[in-house]
Structure 1
Amino acid sequence: MTCQVPRDLIARYKEGRLIPFIGAGVSMSVNWETSDGTSHRGPSWGELVDQAGRMMGFDDAELLRVRGSDLQILEYYRIKNHQQLADLRNWFLNEMRAPDQALRDSEVHAALAQLTRCNLVYTTNYDDFIERSLIIHGRKAYPVAIESHIAEALKKRTIGTLADAVEIVKFHGDLSNPERMVLSESDYERRLKLAEVEDQRLRSDILGRAILFLGYSFRDWNVSYLFRIVNDQFGHLPLAPTGRRAYIVVADPSDFEAELFRARNIEVIPIRSSHRTEDTAKIIKELADA
Protein backbone atom coordinates (compact mmCIF):
# COMPACT_ATOMS: atom_id res chain seq x y z
CA MET A 1 0.00 0.00 0.00
CA THR A 2 1.40 3.40 -0.99
CA CYS A 3 0.14 6.68 0.40
CA GLN A 4 -1.03 9.04 -2.30
CA VAL A 5 -2.01 12.60 -1.47
CA PRO A 6 -5.26 13.57 -3.25
CA ARG A 7 -4.81 16.38 -5.76
CA ASP A 8 -7.82 18.17 -4.29
CA LEU A 9 -6.14 18.20 -0.87
CA ILE A 10 -2.95 19.64 -2.36
CA ALA A 11 -5.01 22.35 -4.03
CA ARG A 12 -6.69 23.32 -0.74
CA TYR A 13 -3.28 23.59 0.93
CA LYS A 14 -1.83 25.74 -1.85
CA GLU A 15 -4.88 28.03 -1.56
CA GLY A 16 -4.30 28.40 2.17
CA ARG A 17 -7.65 26.70 2.85
CA LEU A 18 -6.50 23.70 4.90
CA ILE A 19 -6.67 23.12 8.66
CA PRO A 20 -4.57 20.25 10.09
CA PHE A 21 -6.50 18.59 12.95
CA ILE A 22 -4.10 16.67 15.19
CA GLY A 23 -4.94 13.64 17.36
CA ALA A 24 -3.15 11.49 19.92
CA GLY A 25 -1.42 9.34 17.30
CA VAL A 26 0.84 12.27 16.42
CA SER A 27 1.96 12.73 20.04
CA MET A 28 2.58 8.99 20.29
CA SER A 29 5.11 9.27 17.46
CA VAL A 30 7.48 11.20 19.75
CA ASN A 31 10.07 8.96 21.45
CA TRP A 32 12.77 9.70 24.01
CA GLU A 33 14.85 8.18 26.79
CA THR A 34 15.23 9.46 30.34
CA SER A 35 18.56 9.63 32.18
CA ASP A 36 18.00 6.14 33.62
CA GLY A 37 17.72 4.66 30.11
CA THR A 38 13.95 4.16 30.22
CA SER A 39 12.21 4.53 26.87
CA HIS A 40 9.21 6.85 26.64
CA ARG A 41 6.74 8.02 24.05
CA GLY A 42 3.77 10.36 24.09
CA PRO A 43 1.04 8.45 25.97
CA SER A 44 -2.06 7.20 24.23
CA TRP A 45 -5.65 7.72 25.28
CA GLY A 46 -5.73 4.09 26.44
CA GLU A 47 -2.71 4.65 28.70
CA LEU A 48 -4.43 7.66 30.26
CA VAL A 49 -7.47 5.51 31.05
CA ASP A 50 -5.25 2.71 32.37
CA GLN A 51 -3.56 5.15 34.74
CA ALA A 52 -6.91 6.46 35.98
CA GLY A 53 -7.84 2.85 36.75
CA ARG A 54 -4.61 2.26 38.67
CA MET A 55 -5.20 5.40 40.71
CA MET A 56 -8.55 3.93 41.73
CA GLY A 57 -6.94 0.63 42.78
CA PHE A 58 -7.51 -1.40 39.62
CA ASP A 59 -4.24 -2.93 38.46
CA ASP A 60 -5.90 -4.04 35.23
CA ALA A 61 -8.17 -1.47 33.61
CA GLU A 62 -9.61 -4.23 31.43
CA LEU A 63 -11.65 -5.25 34.45
CA LEU A 64 -13.29 -1.83 34.33
CA ARG A 65 -13.74 -2.00 30.56
CA VAL A 66 -15.92 -5.08 31.04
CA ARG A 67 -18.33 -2.78 32.86
CA GLY A 68 -18.11 0.35 30.73
CA SER A 69 -16.39 2.42 28.06
CA ASP A 70 -13.20 4.43 28.48
CA LEU A 71 -15.24 7.62 28.78
CA GLN A 72 -17.36 6.03 31.52
CA ILE A 73 -14.20 4.94 33.37
CA LEU A 74 -12.96 8.53 33.34
CA GLU A 75 -16.40 9.72 34.47
CA TYR A 76 -16.15 7.25 37.37
CA TYR A 77 -12.68 8.63 38.14
CA ARG A 78 -14.10 12.16 38.30
CA ILE A 79 -16.88 11.07 40.65
CA LYS A 80 -14.57 9.11 42.94
CA ASN A 81 -12.20 12.08 43.12
CA HIS A 82 -14.89 14.69 43.76
CA GLN A 83 -14.54 16.10 40.23
CA GLN A 84 -10.82 16.75 40.77
CA LEU A 85 -8.26 15.82 38.10
CA ALA A 86 -5.11 16.98 39.93
CA ASP A 87 -3.46 13.56 40.38
CA LEU A 88 -4.20 12.43 36.82
CA ARG A 89 -3.07 15.81 35.49
CA ASN A 90 0.22 15.54 37.40
CA TRP A 91 0.84 12.05 36.03
CA PHE A 92 0.13 13.30 32.52
CA LEU A 93 2.46 16.27 32.95
CA ASN A 94 5.24 13.96 34.08
CA GLU A 95 4.68 11.59 31.14
CA MET A 96 4.69 14.43 28.60
CA ARG A 97 8.10 15.88 29.52
CA ALA A 98 9.61 15.22 26.13
CA PRO A 99 12.98 16.95 25.71
CA ASP A 100 13.44 19.45 22.90
CA GLN A 101 15.66 16.99 21.04
CA ALA A 102 12.84 14.43 20.90
CA LEU A 103 10.56 16.98 19.27
CA ARG A 104 13.36 18.09 16.96
CA ASP A 105 13.85 14.46 15.89
CA SER A 106 10.13 13.75 15.39
CA GLU A 107 9.51 13.25 11.65
CA VAL A 108 5.86 14.19 11.88
CA HIS A 109 6.38 17.34 13.94
CA ALA A 110 9.25 18.47 11.71
CA ALA A 111 6.99 18.00 8.67
CA LEU A 112 4.13 19.93 10.30
CA ALA A 113 6.48 22.88 10.82
CA GLN A 114 6.99 22.98 7.03
CA LEU A 115 3.30 23.68 6.36
CA THR A 116 3.90 27.39 5.92
CA ARG A 117 0.53 27.95 4.21
CA CYS A 118 -1.26 26.80 7.39
CA ASN A 119 -1.46 29.46 10.09
CA LEU A 120 -4.19 27.63 11.99
CA VAL A 121 -3.94 24.16 13.56
CA TYR A 122 -6.50 22.36 15.71
CA THR A 123 -5.75 19.57 18.17
CA THR A 124 -7.63 17.46 20.70
CA ASN A 125 -4.33 16.70 22.46
CA TYR A 126 -3.69 18.16 25.91
CA ASP A 127 0.10 18.31 25.54
CA ASP A 128 2.25 21.16 24.20
CA PHE A 129 4.20 19.14 21.61
CA ILE A 130 2.86 21.00 18.57
CA GLU A 131 3.55 24.54 19.73
CA ARG A 132 6.94 23.58 21.15
CA SER A 133 8.03 21.79 17.98
CA LEU A 134 6.94 24.71 15.79
CA ILE A 135 9.07 27.09 17.84
CA ILE A 136 12.00 24.63 17.82
CA HIS A 137 11.80 24.56 14.00
CA GLY A 138 11.77 28.34 13.71
CA ARG A 139 8.04 29.08 13.52
CA LYS A 140 6.03 31.33 15.82
CA ALA A 141 3.18 29.63 17.70
CA TYR A 142 0.35 30.81 19.92
CA PRO A 143 -1.79 28.23 21.80
CA VAL A 144 -5.48 28.96 22.34
CA ALA A 145 -7.34 26.90 24.97
CA ILE A 146 -9.96 29.26 26.46
CA GLU A 147 -11.95 32.27 25.24
CA SER A 148 -9.60 34.80 26.84
CA HIS A 149 -6.81 33.34 24.67
CA ILE A 150 -8.95 33.99 21.58
CA ALA A 151 -9.46 37.60 22.64
CA GLU A 152 -5.75 38.02 23.32
CA ALA A 153 -4.84 36.53 19.93
CA LEU A 154 -7.22 38.92 18.15
CA LYS A 155 -5.69 41.84 20.03
CA LYS A 156 -2.12 40.78 19.21
CA ARG A 157 -2.93 40.21 15.54
CA THR A 158 -4.46 43.69 15.34
CA ILE A 159 -1.30 45.33 16.63
CA GLY A 160 0.94 43.02 14.59
CA THR A 161 2.73 41.09 17.34
CA LEU A 162 1.36 37.76 16.09
CA ALA A 163 2.28 38.27 12.46
CA ASP A 164 3.10 34.91 10.78
CA ALA A 165 2.34 33.02 14.02
CA VAL A 166 0.55 29.66 13.89
CA GLU A 167 -2.51 29.63 16.12
CA ILE A 168 -2.84 26.25 17.89
CA VAL A 169 -6.44 25.76 18.98
CA LYS A 170 -6.56 23.27 21.88
CA PHE A 171 -10.06 22.07 21.06
CA HIS A 172 -10.38 19.89 24.17
CA GLY A 173 -8.46 22.20 26.49
CA ASP A 174 -5.00 21.70 27.92
CA LEU A 175 -3.27 20.88 31.18
CA SER A 176 -2.97 24.55 32.12
CA ASN A 177 -6.76 24.90 32.13
CA PRO A 178 -8.03 21.58 33.56
CA GLU A 179 -11.52 22.96 34.16
CA ARG A 180 -11.99 23.16 30.36
CA MET A 181 -10.54 19.76 29.51
CA VAL A 182 -12.86 17.43 27.63
CA LEU A 183 -12.05 14.14 29.29
CA SER A 184 -15.01 12.17 30.65
CA GLU A 185 -18.39 11.04 29.40
CA SER A 186 -20.23 14.10 30.74
CA ASP A 187 -17.66 16.40 29.10
CA TYR A 188 -18.34 14.83 25.71
CA GLU A 189 -22.09 14.89 26.23
CA ARG A 190 -21.87 18.60 26.98
CA ARG A 191 -19.76 19.27 23.90
CA LEU A 192 -22.02 17.20 21.64
CA LYS A 193 -24.57 19.99 22.04
CA LEU A 194 -22.15 22.01 19.89
CA ALA A 195 -22.88 25.13 21.91
CA GLU A 196 -19.53 25.77 23.64
CA VAL A 197 -17.17 28.61 22.71
CA GLU A 198 -14.77 26.12 21.11
CA ASP A 199 -17.52 24.71 18.89
CA GLN A 200 -18.62 28.15 17.78
CA ARG A 201 -15.01 28.96 16.90
CA LEU A 202 -14.62 25.74 14.89
CA ARG A 203 -17.83 26.41 12.95
CA SER A 204 -16.46 29.80 11.96
CA ASP A 205 -13.02 28.47 11.03
CA ILE A 206 -14.44 25.64 8.90
CA LEU A 207 -16.18 28.11 6.59
CA GLY A 208 -14.39 27.97 3.26
CA ARG A 209 -11.75 25.52 4.51
CA ALA A 210 -11.05 21.78 4.42
CA ILE A 211 -9.75 19.69 7.34
CA LEU A 212 -6.98 17.10 7.37
CA PHE A 213 -7.29 14.69 10.32
CA LEU A 214 -3.98 13.22 11.49
CA GLY A 215 -3.39 10.83 14.39
CA TYR A 216 -6.94 9.50 14.71
CA SER A 217 -8.39 6.02 14.27
CA PHE A 218 -11.77 4.97 12.97
CA ARG A 219 -12.83 3.93 16.47
CA ASP A 220 -11.77 7.23 18.03
CA TRP A 221 -14.69 8.92 19.77
CA ASN A 222 -13.29 12.28 18.69
CA VAL A 223 -13.68 11.29 15.05
CA SER A 224 -17.43 10.71 15.15
CA TYR A 225 -17.89 13.81 17.27
CA LEU A 226 -15.90 16.05 14.94
CA PHE A 227 -17.45 14.55 11.82
CA ARG A 228 -20.83 15.40 13.25
CA ILE A 229 -19.83 19.06 13.29
CA VAL A 230 -18.41 18.92 9.76
CA ASN A 231 -21.25 16.96 8.16
CA ASP A 232 -24.34 18.03 10.07
CA GLN A 233 -23.54 21.72 9.86
CA PHE A 234 -22.20 22.14 6.32
CA GLY A 235 -22.70 20.98 2.74
CA HIS A 236 -20.05 20.68 0.05
CA LEU A 237 -17.00 22.91 0.24
CA PRO A 238 -17.29 25.88 -2.15
CA LEU A 239 -14.68 26.32 -4.91
CA ALA A 240 -13.59 22.68 -4.65
CA PRO A 241 -14.29 20.31 -7.57
CA THR A 242 -15.10 17.37 -5.27
CA GLY A 243 -16.77 19.49 -2.59
CA ARG A 244 -14.71 17.51 -0.07
CA ARG A 245 -14.56 19.13 3.38
CA ALA A 246 -12.44 16.57 5.20
CA TYR A 247 -9.64 14.04 4.71
CA ILE A 248 -8.35 11.50 7.21
CA VAL A 249 -5.13 9.50 7.30
CA VAL A 250 -5.95 5.92 8.36
CA ALA A 251 -3.64 2.93 8.82
CA ASP A 252 -4.60 -0.10 6.69
CA PRO A 253 -8.23 0.97 6.16
CA SER A 254 -10.74 -1.70 5.21
CA ASP A 255 -13.49 -1.27 2.62
CA PHE A 256 -15.86 -1.03 5.60
CA GLU A 257 -14.07 2.07 6.87
CA ALA A 258 -13.52 3.63 3.46
CA GLU A 259 -17.18 3.33 2.49
CA LEU A 260 -18.47 4.74 5.77
CA PHE A 261 -16.11 7.70 5.55
CA ARG A 262 -16.95 8.29 1.89
CA ALA A 263 -20.65 8.37 2.73
CA ARG A 264 -19.84 11.28 5.05
CA ASN A 265 -17.96 13.19 2.34
CA ILE A 266 -14.61 12.34 3.94
CA GLU A 267 -11.77 10.92 1.88
CA VAL A 268 -9.52 8.28 3.41
CA ILE A 269 -5.78 8.50 2.77
CA PRO A 270 -4.36 5.03 3.51
CA ILE A 271 -1.01 4.46 5.20
CA ARG A 272 0.75 1.32 6.40
CA SER A 273 0.27 0.42 10.05
CA SER A 274 3.87 -0.84 10.10
CA HIS A 275 5.12 2.59 8.92
CA ARG A 276 2.62 5.00 10.49
CA THR A 277 5.11 7.71 11.38
CA GLU A 278 7.09 7.48 8.14
CA ASP A 279 3.99 7.52 5.93
CA THR A 280 2.27 10.31 7.86
CA ALA A 281 5.38 12.47 7.62
CA LYS A 282 5.63 11.71 3.90
CA ILE A 283 2.08 12.93 3.28
CA ILE A 284 2.69 16.17 5.17
CA LYS A 285 6.00 16.76 3.36
CA GLU A 286 4.31 16.24 -0.02
CA LEU A 287 1.82 18.94 0.90
CA ALA A 288 4.56 21.28 2.13
CA ASP A 289 6.53 20.82 -1.09
CA ALA A 290 3.53 21.45 -3.34
Structure 2
Amino acid sequence: MLMDLGLPSSFAAANGTTYQKIAEYYRLKHGSLSQLVDWMKREWQISPAQLKNSELHRLIVELDFPLVCTTIYDSNLEMSYETFGRPFTRTTSAKDMATAPAGKTQIVKYHGDFSDPDTLVLTESHYVERLSFDAPLDIKFRSDAFASTLQFIGYSMSDLNIRFLLHHLWSTWRRTELDRHRPPLFLFMHEPTEVQVHVLKRWGVTVLNGDGESSGASLAQFLERLLERRNPDAGGSIFCRSAEPL
Protein backbone atom coordinates (compact mmCIF):
# COMPACT_ATOMS: atom_id res chain seq x y z
CA MET A 1 0.00 0.00 0.00
CA LEU A 2 2.81 2.40 0.88
CA MET A 3 4.50 1.71 -2.44
CA ASP A 4 1.30 2.37 -4.38
CA LEU A 5 0.77 5.58 -2.40
CA GLY A 6 4.32 6.80 -3.05
CA LEU A 7 5.19 6.75 0.65
CA PRO A 8 8.48 5.44 2.12
CA SER A 9 8.50 1.94 3.60
CA SER A 10 9.43 3.44 6.98
CA PHE A 11 6.35 5.70 7.05
CA ALA A 12 4.17 3.49 9.26
CA ALA A 13 6.81 2.84 11.92
CA ALA A 14 8.11 6.41 11.88
CA ASN A 15 4.67 7.93 12.32
CA GLY A 16 3.02 5.29 14.52
CA THR A 17 0.47 4.60 11.80
CA THR A 18 -1.47 1.34 11.71
CA TYR A 19 -2.11 -0.61 8.52
CA GLN A 20 -5.82 0.09 9.02
CA LYS A 21 -5.15 3.85 8.75
CA ILE A 22 -2.99 3.31 5.68
CA ALA A 23 -5.73 1.18 4.11
CA GLU A 24 -8.22 3.96 4.87
CA TYR A 25 -5.98 6.48 3.11
CA TYR A 26 -5.45 4.04 0.24
CA ARG A 27 -9.20 3.73 -0.30
CA LEU A 28 -9.64 7.52 -0.20
CA LYS A 29 -6.84 8.07 -2.72
CA HIS A 30 -7.83 5.30 -5.14
CA GLY A 31 -11.58 5.45 -4.64
CA SER A 32 -11.79 1.74 -3.74
CA LEU A 33 -9.72 -1.21 -2.52
CA SER A 34 -10.08 -3.16 -5.78
CA GLN A 35 -6.41 -2.80 -6.81
CA LEU A 36 -5.23 -3.89 -3.38
CA VAL A 37 -7.62 -6.85 -3.31
CA ASP A 38 -6.44 -7.97 -6.78
CA TRP A 39 -2.82 -7.81 -5.57
CA MET A 40 -3.56 -9.80 -2.40
CA LYS A 41 -5.42 -12.46 -4.40
CA ARG A 42 -2.39 -12.93 -6.65
CA GLU A 43 0.30 -12.79 -3.97
CA TRP A 44 -1.41 -14.92 -1.33
CA GLN A 45 -2.42 -17.79 -3.59
CA ILE A 46 -1.06 -21.19 -2.55
CA SER A 47 -1.15 -24.28 -4.72
CA PRO A 48 -2.97 -27.47 -3.66
CA ALA A 49 0.42 -29.24 -3.69
CA GLN A 50 1.81 -26.80 -1.11
CA LEU A 51 -1.25 -27.21 1.06
CA LYS A 52 -1.04 -31.00 0.81
CA ASN A 53 2.50 -30.80 2.21
CA SER A 54 1.48 -28.48 5.04
CA GLU A 55 1.44 -30.30 8.37
CA LEU A 56 -0.56 -27.51 10.02
CA HIS A 57 -3.29 -27.50 7.41
CA ARG A 58 -3.52 -31.30 7.55
CA LEU A 59 -3.90 -31.27 11.32
CA ILE A 60 -6.56 -28.53 11.28
CA VAL A 61 -8.58 -30.55 8.77
CA GLU A 62 -8.11 -33.87 10.60
CA LEU A 63 -9.24 -32.37 13.91
CA ASP A 64 -12.62 -32.05 12.21
CA PHE A 65 -14.00 -29.12 14.19
CA PRO A 66 -17.66 -28.37 13.43
CA LEU A 67 -16.89 -24.64 13.26
CA VAL A 68 -13.78 -22.81 12.10
CA CYS A 69 -13.82 -19.02 12.30
CA THR A 70 -11.03 -17.09 10.61
CA THR A 71 -10.10 -13.47 9.95
CA ILE A 72 -8.03 -14.26 6.84
CA TYR A 73 -9.42 -13.27 3.46
CA ASP A 74 -7.95 -15.91 1.15
CA SER A 75 -9.32 -19.36 0.36
CA ASN A 76 -6.31 -21.43 1.44
CA LEU A 77 -8.19 -22.92 4.39
CA GLU A 78 -11.07 -23.98 2.16
CA MET A 79 -8.60 -25.40 -0.37
CA SER A 80 -7.07 -27.45 2.44
CA TYR A 81 -10.43 -29.09 3.15
CA GLU A 82 -10.82 -29.82 -0.56
CA THR A 83 -7.24 -31.16 -0.82
CA PHE A 84 -7.68 -33.52 2.14
CA GLY A 85 -11.17 -34.57 1.09
CA ARG A 86 -13.24 -33.15 3.95
CA PRO A 87 -16.67 -31.55 3.32
CA PHE A 88 -17.11 -27.92 4.37
CA THR A 89 -19.31 -24.90 3.80
CA ARG A 90 -18.12 -21.30 3.69
CA THR A 91 -19.99 -18.56 5.55
CA THR A 92 -19.49 -14.89 4.69
CA SER A 93 -23.02 -13.49 4.94
CA ALA A 94 -26.41 -13.81 6.61
CA LYS A 95 -27.61 -15.81 3.62
CA ASP A 96 -24.80 -18.33 4.12
CA MET A 97 -25.70 -18.62 7.81
CA ALA A 98 -29.33 -19.39 6.98
CA THR A 99 -28.55 -21.95 4.28
CA ALA A 100 -25.52 -23.72 5.80
CA PRO A 101 -26.05 -27.50 5.51
CA ALA A 102 -25.76 -29.71 8.57
CA GLY A 103 -22.96 -32.22 8.94
CA LYS A 104 -20.23 -30.12 7.32
CA THR A 105 -17.49 -28.05 8.90
CA GLN A 106 -18.58 -24.44 8.72
CA ILE A 107 -15.73 -22.06 7.81
CA VAL A 108 -16.80 -18.59 8.89
CA LYS A 109 -14.87 -15.75 7.22
CA TYR A 110 -15.23 -13.25 10.04
CA HIS A 111 -13.45 -10.43 8.21
CA GLY A 112 -14.74 -11.24 4.76
CA ASP A 113 -13.58 -13.15 1.71
CA PHE A 114 -11.90 -12.30 -1.59
CA SER A 115 -14.90 -13.71 -3.43
CA ASP A 116 -16.85 -10.67 -2.23
CA PRO A 117 -14.53 -7.65 -1.70
CA ASP A 118 -17.37 -5.67 -0.13
CA THR A 119 -17.26 -8.02 2.88
CA LEU A 120 -13.59 -7.32 3.70
CA VAL A 121 -12.79 -5.71 7.05
CA LEU A 122 -9.53 -3.90 6.31
CA THR A 123 -9.68 -0.13 6.83
CA GLU A 124 -9.97 1.79 10.07
CA SER A 125 -13.60 2.64 9.26
CA HIS A 126 -14.37 -1.06 8.77
CA TYR A 127 -13.01 -1.90 12.23
CA VAL A 128 -14.82 1.00 13.92
CA GLU A 129 -18.10 0.07 12.26
CA ARG A 130 -17.75 -3.50 13.51
CA LEU A 131 -17.39 -2.33 17.13
CA SER A 132 -21.17 -2.14 17.34
CA PHE A 133 -21.21 -5.93 16.93
CA ASP A 134 -24.61 -5.96 15.29
CA ALA A 135 -23.54 -7.45 11.94
CA PRO A 136 -24.85 -10.99 11.26
CA LEU A 137 -21.39 -12.57 11.65
CA ASP A 138 -20.84 -10.71 14.94
CA ILE A 139 -24.13 -12.03 16.30
CA LYS A 140 -23.21 -15.53 15.18
CA PHE A 141 -19.76 -15.33 16.78
CA ARG A 142 -21.22 -14.09 20.08
CA SER A 143 -23.70 -16.97 20.06
CA ASP A 144 -21.08 -19.58 19.18
CA ALA A 145 -18.58 -18.27 21.74
CA PHE A 146 -21.27 -18.04 24.43
CA ALA A 147 -22.23 -21.69 24.16
CA SER A 148 -19.13 -23.50 22.90
CA THR A 149 -15.56 -24.22 23.85
CA LEU A 150 -13.35 -22.03 21.68
CA GLN A 151 -9.68 -22.57 20.79
CA PHE A 152 -7.69 -19.70 19.28
CA ILE A 153 -4.60 -20.60 17.24
CA GLY A 154 -2.12 -18.43 15.37
CA TYR A 155 -3.67 -15.42 17.03
CA SER A 156 -1.94 -12.66 18.99
CA MET A 157 -5.06 -10.90 20.29
CA SER A 158 -3.94 -7.69 18.57
CA ASP A 159 -7.29 -7.43 16.77
CA LEU A 160 -9.37 -4.75 18.50
CA ASN A 161 -12.69 -6.25 17.39
CA ILE A 162 -11.93 -9.65 18.90
CA ARG A 163 -10.52 -8.23 22.13
CA PHE A 164 -13.58 -6.04 22.56
CA LEU A 165 -15.89 -8.94 21.80
CA LEU A 166 -14.15 -11.20 24.34
CA HIS A 167 -14.47 -8.50 26.98
CA HIS A 168 -18.16 -8.10 26.10
CA LEU A 169 -18.65 -11.86 26.32
CA TRP A 170 -16.94 -12.00 29.71
CA SER A 171 -19.02 -9.11 31.08
CA THR A 172 -22.25 -10.67 29.78
CA TRP A 173 -21.51 -13.92 31.64
CA ARG A 174 -20.66 -11.94 34.79
CA ARG A 175 -24.02 -10.18 34.71
CA THR A 176 -25.83 -13.53 34.60
CA GLU A 177 -24.05 -14.55 37.83
CA LEU A 178 -23.75 -17.98 36.21
CA ASP A 179 -20.26 -17.52 34.81
CA ARG A 180 -19.07 -20.70 36.52
CA HIS A 181 -20.99 -22.53 33.77
CA ARG A 182 -19.26 -20.66 30.95
CA PRO A 183 -17.58 -22.96 28.39
CA PRO A 184 -13.79 -22.57 28.48
CA LEU A 185 -11.84 -20.44 26.02
CA PHE A 186 -8.25 -21.30 25.12
CA LEU A 187 -5.53 -19.43 23.27
CA PHE A 188 -2.38 -21.14 22.03
CA MET A 189 0.77 -18.98 21.88
CA HIS A 190 4.37 -19.98 21.20
CA GLU A 191 5.93 -17.63 23.75
CA PRO A 192 3.23 -15.76 25.70
CA THR A 193 4.23 -12.86 27.92
CA GLU A 194 3.19 -12.50 31.54
CA VAL A 195 1.05 -9.50 30.59
CA GLN A 196 -0.83 -11.45 27.91
CA VAL A 197 -1.44 -14.40 30.23
CA HIS A 198 -2.87 -12.30 33.06
CA VAL A 199 -4.97 -9.94 30.94
CA LEU A 200 -6.53 -12.82 29.01
CA LYS A 201 -7.11 -14.79 32.20
CA ARG A 202 -9.16 -11.82 33.44
CA TRP A 203 -11.45 -12.37 30.44
CA GLY A 204 -11.71 -16.09 31.07
CA VAL A 205 -9.18 -17.12 28.40
CA THR A 206 -6.61 -19.76 29.32
CA VAL A 207 -3.28 -19.32 27.51
CA LEU A 208 -1.54 -22.52 26.41
CA ASN A 209 2.15 -22.12 25.57
CA GLY A 210 4.21 -24.12 23.10
CA ASP A 211 7.59 -25.75 23.50
CA GLY A 212 8.84 -26.06 19.93
CA GLU A 213 11.80 -24.29 18.35
CA SER A 214 9.53 -21.97 16.37
CA SER A 215 5.90 -20.84 16.40
CA GLY A 216 5.10 -23.22 13.52
CA ALA A 217 6.76 -26.19 15.22
CA SER A 218 5.06 -25.43 18.54
CA LEU A 219 1.66 -25.18 16.91
CA ALA A 220 2.14 -28.43 14.99
CA GLN A 221 3.09 -30.24 18.22
CA PHE A 222 0.08 -28.80 20.02
CA LEU A 223 -2.37 -29.78 17.28
CA GLU A 224 -0.86 -33.26 17.09
CA ARG A 225 -1.38 -33.75 20.83
CA LEU A 226 -4.90 -32.40 20.53
CA LEU A 227 -5.62 -34.86 17.72
CA GLU A 228 -4.33 -37.77 19.83
CA ARG A 229 -6.44 -36.87 22.85
CA ARG A 230 -9.62 -35.56 21.30
CA ASN A 231 -13.00 -36.97 22.21
CA PRO A 232 -14.74 -37.84 18.92
CA ASP A 233 -18.15 -37.18 20.51
CA ALA A 234 -17.28 -33.70 21.76
CA GLY A 235 -18.11 -30.52 19.91
CA GLY A 236 -16.06 -27.36 19.87
CA SER A 237 -14.82 -24.60 17.66
CA ILE A 238 -11.52 -23.24 16.52
CA PHE A 239 -10.63 -19.67 15.65
CA CYS A 240 -7.75 -19.50 13.15
CA ARG A 241 -6.12 -16.15 12.72
CA SER A 242 -3.94 -17.75 10.08
CA ALA A 243 -2.19 -20.99 9.23
CA GLU A 244 0.72 -19.39 7.44
CA PRO A 245 3.72 -21.63 8.33
CA LEU A 246 3.75 -24.21 5.52
TM-score using structure 2 length: 0.84
The C-alpha deviation readout for 1:15-66, integer Å capped at 9, x for no partner, is xxxxxxxxxxxxxxxxxxxxxxxxxxxxxxxxxxxxx111111241x31343
Q: Which residue of 2 aligns with 1:35?
A: none
Q: Does 1:79 align with 2:28?
A: yes
Q: Which residue of 2 aligns with 1:228?
A: 167
- Amino acid paired to 1:72: K
Q: Does 1:271 align with 2:210?
A: yes
Say how many residue pairs are matched.
Answer: 224
Instruction: Give 1:244 shift.
Output: 5.4
Of residues 100, 104, 111 in structure 2, which corresponds to 1:172? 111
The C-alpha deviation readout for 1:167-187, integer Å capped at 9, x for no partner, is 100011111111111111111
Q: Which residue of 2 aligns with 1:113?
A: 61
Give unmatched runs, 5+ long, in structure 2.
230-246
Structure 2 residue matching 1:66: 3-state secondary structure = helix
- Amino acid paired to 1:127: D
Instruction: Give 1:165 shift.
Output: 1.4
Q: Does 1:102 align with 2:50?
A: yes
Of residues 123, 138, 147 in structure 1, which corresponds to 2:94? 147
TM-score using structure 1 length: 0.72
Q: Segments of 4+ in structure 1 off by > 6 A?
A: none
Q: Does 1:69 align with 2:18?
A: yes
C-alpha separation between the residues in 1 aligned to 2:220 and 2:212?
Answer: 13
Q: Does 1:190 align with 2:129?
A: yes
C-alpha separation between the residues in 1 aligned to 2:62 and 2:126?
Answer: 34
- Amino acid paired to 2:223: I
- CA shift in 2, pair 1:224/1:206, >3 Å: closer
Of residues 113, 128, 131 in structure 1, which corresponds to 2:75? 128
The C-alpha deviation readout for 1:235-276, integer Å capped at 9, x for no partner, is 4363xxxx4531111121121221111111111111257421
Maintained 8 Å contact 2:190/2:218: no
- The root-mean-square deviation of aligned C-alpha atoms, in Å, is 1.9
Instruction: Give 1:218 shift.
Output: 4.3
Instruction: Give 1:77 shift.
Output: 1.2
Give unmatched runs, 5+ long, in structure 1.
1-51, 158-162
